[in-house]
Chains A and B, each alone.
Chain A
Amino acid sequence: MKRFQGLDFLELEGELSEEERMVRDAVRSFVDERILPLIGKCYEDGRFPSELVPEMASLGLFGPTVPEEYGGQGLGSVAYGVMCRELERGDSGIRSMASVQGSLVMFPILEYGSEEQKKRWLPKLAKGEAIGCFGLTEPDAGSNPGGMLSRCKKDGTGWVLNGRKMWITNGTVSDVSIVWAKDDAGVVRGFLVEKGTKGFTAPETKGKWSLRASVTSELVLDDVRVPDSHRLPKAEGLKAPLSCLTQARYGIAWGAVGAAMACFEEALNYSKDRIVFNKPLAGFQIPQMKLADMATDITLGQLMSLKIGRLKELGRLSHFQVSMAKRNNVSMALRISRVCRDMLGANGILLEYHSGRHMCNLETVYTYEGTHDIHSLAIGEAVTGLPAYR
């Protein structure tokens, strides 16, 4: 197989530091050697390749931005973004697993957890000895998480949780689930619910045609009792889970570019080799226009992700800016994956090729972590000052 080149039309890779380029190369070879050979089959079987977890952990893919004292590596934001981009070049489901573990589980524990919670969970999560999930969405509250029905009730020294979460990545395989619920005063609080806690189950959601190499689950909480030490003490209000989503979306904005680069390169190579009407497909004007459009759109996405990365490193990144990059890059990637799928002709529907799988995956990415339209509303609010969510 031809080695992945990675479109770099504006020499943006040259803007990366040596360390960031090394992260890119390290994750890129892991994807080439360990993920691509098995991902088509995993997708077909609807199976997350859990056998890769120890290797992903030893590579440092779980929570690399967490400080070293808690088992992370203190990696910079751009390096983390590059990691997400390279992982999603492999598969959105694999990147999702790492995003959830790092941005939606390790981040809230680091940001809102007690010292005891950090010491107990972060090193294990970094080593892949524990898997985590983030339960915010409910059957009747997706885009509007403030409308959640899950409840937490103070009971003596502990809490009782009741409710149902849905579409939760890693749910079934999680050792620790971060569950968000409202207290009697309507304040959203976060809890660490451990596997095996009485009244807590996490059945897997079957029948997906998207993100098939990732575990998606329901979380059912039926009078689940947890001690107060399992509550994230510094998380109060919806702002807390939303701040986690901003972290994860940042990685998605980078990740989507990786999926688009994978599709583009596949379609480019294919169209140079594929002979139609006695010459390479790439030699015709219509495919060239598609390739030119895609190369330009990918380059714009690369610019956007790099810029939000540098802003994040300066501590100046707003959630509105993340919304713009997530919305633009994911819809760009989805559009490109469809075009590439088409350029591969009938071969495009085979799992042996990657564009079709990316296309199906990206439909999820378009919806989760704030749908495309919800991010339109966020950008709309930023530019007009008039929130139009409700």
Chain B
Amino acid sequence: MDVAVCVKRVPSTDTRVKVGASGTSIDPTGVQYELNPFDEFAVEEALRVKEKTGGGTVTVICLGPGDAQKELRNELARGADKAVLLKDDQLEARDAYSIARALADQIQKLNVRVVMMGKQAVDRDNGHVGSMVAAMLGYACVTEVVKMEIQGDTARCEREIEGGAREVVEAQLPAVFTAQKGLNEPRYVKLPGIMAAKKKPLEEVAAPAVAPKLTVVEMSLPPARQAGRFMGKGKEAVPELLRRLREESKVL
């Protein structure tokens, strides 16, 4: 079965974020990028769907700058068959809608019945794109999937809900699935895969311009954490500590 996977290139999770001069996006100097961690689960599941259904093509799609070829090549090395880079060097100017629109148009061209994505991208943390793409395409959408199995034209999925509870749903294909941690254990990129990836197609096309419906007007870092305060020592300090927790910090 053919599968499309949408992946995003995000600042690596150990980046010390600084706000850029514009005041609306992060300062990219010295930032290292990597594949959005949730998207690794999405790619792995796409490969498993292909393997379990006895073949097909896994296409990875990324909307991002030219440098994102690196992340795409890596997913080809992991086992995907084709990659499409929807190139846009001004990714930060897009909102979830404008990203989803471009991805949905691309997915439509591929004629796939299963679309995998991460449950959210860890840069902006909106978690919107998967559901939006599904809505735009008129597909079913199952978010935060921790287990999935495809039989014929239905997908039986487990998803996490409040308080660690699980819900089992059945979705009619075509559908968009967003991956939650725990869905699978992503396979390693292997040296033979790296050599094979050189021969796999990586197509680069300009991402269609789509006006955003939402703009970031300000971005700021959390205030620096204040130094701790000593309330005194031993039992005698407890009433004062409780009073302050109740009245000042209002945590009790």
Q: A residues within 8 Å of B by Cβ?
A: 2-3, 18-19, 21-23, 25-26, 29-30, 58-61, 64, 68, 73-75, 83
Q: Is the CB of B190 within 8 A of A25?
A: no
> What's the dominant secondary structure at chain B's contact region?
helix
Least CB separation from B12: chain A residue: A3
Give the distance in Å from the alpha carbon of A3 to the alpha carbon of B188 in the complex: 17
Query: Would A74 and B14 be within 8 Å (CB), given that A18-B70, A22-B73, A25-B189 are in contact?
Result: no
Least CB separation from A3: chain B residue: B14
Which residues from chain B contact A58 at a C-beta distance below 8 Å?
A: 190
Which residues from chain B contact A30 at a C-beta distance below 8 Å?
A: 188
* Extra pairs beyond A22-B194, A23-B191, A26-B188 (11, CB < 8 Å): A21-B70, A22-B74, A22-B197, A26-B194, A29-B188, A29-B189, A59-B191, A61-B191, A64-B191, A68-B195, A74-B195
> Is the interface on chain B under 10, 10 to 19, 20 to 34, or 35 or more residues?
10 to 19
Q: Is the CB of A60 within 8 A of B190?
A: yes
Which residues from chain A contact B188 at a C-beta distance below 8 Å?
A: 26, 29-30, 59
A-B contacts, 15 of them at CB < 8 A, read: A2-B14, A18-B70, A19-B195, A22-B73, A22-B74, A22-B77, A25-B189, A26-B190, A26-B191, A26-B194, A29-B189, A58-B190, A60-B190, A61-B191, A73-B194
**B75 → A minimal CB distance (Å):** 11
Query: Would A73 and B74 be within 8 Å (CB), given that A26-B190, A59-B190 are in contact?
Result: no
Q: Is B246 an interface residue (CB 8 A)?
A: no
Q: B residues within 8 Å of A by Cβ?
A: 14, 70, 73-74, 77, 188-192, 194-195, 197-198
Least CB separation from B13: chain A residue: A3
A-B pairs, 4 with minimum CB distance: A60-B191, A26-B189, A22-B194, A73-B195
Give the distance in Å from the alpha carbon of A61 to the alpha carbon of B194 in the complex: 12
Q: Is the CB of A23 within 8 A of B194?
A: yes
Give the distance in Å from the alpha carbon of A29 to the alpha carbon of B190 in the complex: 11
Which residues from chain B contact A73 at a C-beta distance below 8 Å?
A: 191-192, 194-195
Which residues from chain A contact B191 at a C-beta distance below 8 Å?
A: 23, 26, 59-61, 64, 73, 75, 83
Which residues from chain A contact B189 at a C-beta distance below 8 Å?
A: 22, 25-26, 29
Tally of A-B Cβ pairs under 8 angstroms: 45
Give the distance in Å from the alpha carbon of A96 to the alpha carbon of B23 in the complex: 51
**A220 → B minimal CB distance (Å):** 36
Which residues from chain A contact B73 at a C-beta distance below 8 Å?
A: 18, 22
Query: Would A25 and B195 be within 8 Å (CB), given that A58-B190, A59-B188 are in contact?
Result: no
Most buried by B among A26, A61, A74: A26
Give the distance in Å from the alpha carbon of A58 to the alpha carbon of B190 in the complex: 7
Which residues from chain B contact A61 at a C-beta distance below 8 Å?
A: 191
Most buried by A among B77, B189, B195: B195
Give the distance in Å from the alpha carbon of A302 to the alpha carbon of B221 in the complex: 37
Most buried by B among A22, A30, A60, A64: A22
**B251 → A minimal CB distance (Å):** 29
Least CB separation from A2: chain B residue: B14
Give the distance in Å from the alpha carbon of A19 to the alpha carbon of B73 in the complex: 9
Least CB separation from A58: chain B residue: B190
Give the distance in Å from the alpha carbon of A29 to the alpha carbon of B188 in the complex: 8
Least CB separation from B14: chain A residue: A3
Which residues from chain A contact B14 at a C-beta distance below 8 Å?
A: 2-3
Give the distance in Å from the alpha carbon of A237 to the alpha carbon of B191 in the complex: 34
Give the distance in Å from the alpha carbon of A21 to the alpha carbon of B73 in the complex: 11
**A36 → B minimal CB distance (Å):** 15
Partner of A75, one of B74, B77, B195, B197: B195
Give the distance in Å from the alpha carbon of A75 to the alpha carbon of B74 in the complex: 16
Partner of A60, one of B70, B192, B198: B192
Give the distance in Å from the alpha carbon of A134 to the alpha carbon of B188 in the complex: 30
Which residues from chain B contact A68 at a C-beta distance below 8 Å?
A: 195
Give the distance in Å from the alpha carbon of A143 to the alpha carbon of B27 in the complex: 56
Give the distance in Å from the alpha carbon of A18 to the alpha carbon of B67 in the complex: 11
**B50 → A minimal CB distance (Å):** 19
Which residues from chain A contact B197 at a C-beta distance below 8 Å?
A: 22
Which residues from chain A contact B70 at a C-beta distance below 8 Å?
A: 18, 21
Most buried by B among A68, A73, A75: A73
Least CB separation from B74: chain A residue: A22
Least CB separation from B78: chain A residue: A26
Which residues from chain A contact B192 at a C-beta distance below 8 Å?
A: 60, 73
Least CB separation from A126: chain B residue: B192
**A26 → B minimal CB distance (Å):** 4
Give the distance in Å from the alpha carbon of A194 to the alpha carbon of B103 in the complex: 57
Give the distance in Å from the alpha carbon of A252 to the alpha carbon of B221 in the complex: 46
**A272 → B minimal CB distance (Å):** 14
Give the distance in Å from the alpha carbon of A13 to the alpha carbon of B198 in the complex: 20
Which residues from chain B contact A25 at a C-beta distance below 8 Å?
A: 74, 189
Which residues from chain A contact B190 at a C-beta distance below 8 Å?
A: 26, 58-60
Give the distance in Å from the alpha carbon of A264 to the alpha carbon of B154 in the complex: 53
**A81 → B minimal CB distance (Å):** 13
Give the distance in Å from the alpha carbon of A75 to the alpha carbon of B77 in the complex: 14
Which residues from chain A contact B198 at a C-beta distance below 8 Å?
A: 19
**A64 → B minimal CB distance (Å):** 5
Give the distance in Å from the alpha carbon of A29 to the alpha carbon of B195 in the complex: 18
Least CB separation from B76: chain A residue: A22
**A385 → B minimal CB distance (Å):** 41
Give the distance in Å from the alpha carbon of A150 to the alpha carbon of B222 in the complex: 72
**B80 → A minimal CB distance (Å):** 14
Least CB separation from A74: chain B residue: B195
**B184 → A minimal CB distance (Å):** 15
**A124 → B minimal CB distance (Å):** 16
Give the distance in Å from the alpha carbon of A367 to the alpha carbon of B118 in the complex: 50
**B174 → A minimal CB distance (Å):** 32
**A243 → B minimal CB distance (Å):** 24
Which residues from chain B contact A83 at a C-beta distance below 8 Å?
A: 191
Which residues from chain B contact A59 at a C-beta distance below 8 Å?
A: 188, 190-191
